[in-house]
Structure 1
Amino acid sequence: MEELQAAVTAHLDQVSGLVQALSSELRRGMGPAADNLRGFIRAVDWTEPWLICLMAFHVVLLLTAVWFRRNANFQLFLLFLAYSGVYLAERMNRYLGEHWKSFTSRNYFDRSGVFISVVWSGPLIFISIVSVISSLIALCRLMVKWKRAELRHRARLARDKKD
């Protein structure tokens, strides 16, 4: 029983430390995060052709997702495509880290995969969110259409019953 009590106390102390660390981070505000983001943006040469092509790819994919927002089958395909891209990001990072000299001036592909997560996976996840929201809106519209048809059918049945 004493071992259990000691384990629970140790766990509560650890949780308390995490909560204190989180609250101190929140008290500092968004300044450090904004500084890190500015440093990241400055460290990358955004004029490299492959980065411009990658950004153009994401813009075209986003516009395609918005353009075909009412096509449920295409939205499902787009979700599969985007999540496959996110799934393959680790392998892509490893491959691109080995062959970076053939297409870029600097090696952006670190072991932790921060760069590939920001420029590849992040936009794909955003596009996936847009696709899911579009699908939910289409589903809501379909439910409203179905309910209206059901109410019209019930009204017709009630009218025919009176006659």
Structure 2
Amino acid sequence: MEELKSAVNEHMDQMADLMEKLTAELRSGLKPAYENFIGFFHAIDWKEPWLICLVSFHVMLLLVVFMSRKNINFQMCLFLLALGGVYLAERLNHLLAGNWKSFAGQNYFDSHGIFLSILWSGPLLVIAIIILVNTLFSMCHLMVRWKKAELKHRARVARSKVD
């Protein structure tokens, strides 16, 4: 019985420590996250041509997604290409890490792939989510049209039976 009490007391002490750490983090607010983001942002040389091309690629892809919002088949191709780009991000990170001297001023490509995840996979995932939401809205609109057509057809059939 004593072992059980001591185990429960140890568990309660651990939970109290975790709650204390959590409340300390909440009291500090978002300042550490903001400082980390600002540090990350300033560590990048945004005037490098390959970074300008990468940002331009994402902007152009976003524009193509908005302009082709009515063409669901094309959007599905873009969706699969975006997810394929995210899938291949790890291989791309290894390839770029080995050849960074030929196109970049500094090595942005760490072994964990944080930089590429933020600047390559993040925007592609946002674009994929936009395509997905657009597809869901299109499906809802199509279901409403289909149900209206079905109700009109039933009304015509019911009128023809009456006549």
TM-score, normalising length from structure 1? Answer: 0.87
**Could you tell me how far 1:4 is from its partner in structure 2?**
10
**Could you tell me how far 1:13 is from its partner in structure 2?**
6.8
Over 3 Å off, 4+ runs: 3-24
Count of aligned pairs between the two proteins: 163
- Mapping of residues 47-86 of structure 1, within 5 Å: 47-86=47-86
- Mapping of residues 9-48 of structure 1, within 5 Å: 18=18, 20-48=20-48
Structure of higher CA gyration radius: 2
Residues 122 and 9 of structure 1: CA distance in aligned 2, closer, same or farther (over 3 Å): farther
Q: 2:8 and 2:143 mapped to 1: Cα distance?
A: 49
Question: In the TM superposition, what whole-angstrom CA distance separates every residue of 1:3-54 from its partner, at most 9, and x where no partner exists?
Answer: 9999998778767655554443233211111111111111101010000000
Q: 2:15 and 2:84 mapped to 1: Cα distance?
A: 36
TM-score, normalising length from structure 2? Answer: 0.87
SS in 2 for 1:104: coil
Residues 9 and 157 of structure 1: CA distance in aligned 2, closer, same or farther (over 3 Å): farther
Residues 4 and 154 of structure 1: CA distance in aligned 2, closer, same or farther (over 3 Å): farther
Contact 1:70 1:135 in 2 (8 A): no
Residues 112 and 159 of structure 1: CA distance in aligned 2, closer, same or farther (over 3 Å): same
Q: 1:16 and 1:76 mapped to 2: Cα distance?
A: 49
SS in 2 for 1:27: helix
Instruction: List runs of 5+ in structure 2 lacking aligned partners.
Output: none
Contact 1:75 1:131 in 2 (8 A): yes
Contact 1:86 1:121 in 2 (8 A): yes
Q: 1:120 and 1:97 mapped to 2: Cα distance?
A: 14
Report the counterpart of residue 87 of structure 2 in structure 1: 87
Question: In the TM superposition, what whole-angstrom CA distance separates every residue of 1:113-145 from its partner, at most 9, and x where no partner exists?
Answer: 111011100000000011001101110110111
Identity %: 54
Q: 2:4 and 2:76 mapped to 1: Cα distance?
A: 49
**Could you tell me how far 1:162 is from its partner in structure 2?**
1.7
Q: 2:134 and 2:57 mapped to 1: Cα distance?
A: 20
Residues 12 and 124 of structure 1: CA distance in aligned 2, closer, same or farther (over 3 Å): farther
- Pick 1 or 2: higher relative contact order, CA cutoff 8 A, min separation 6: 1
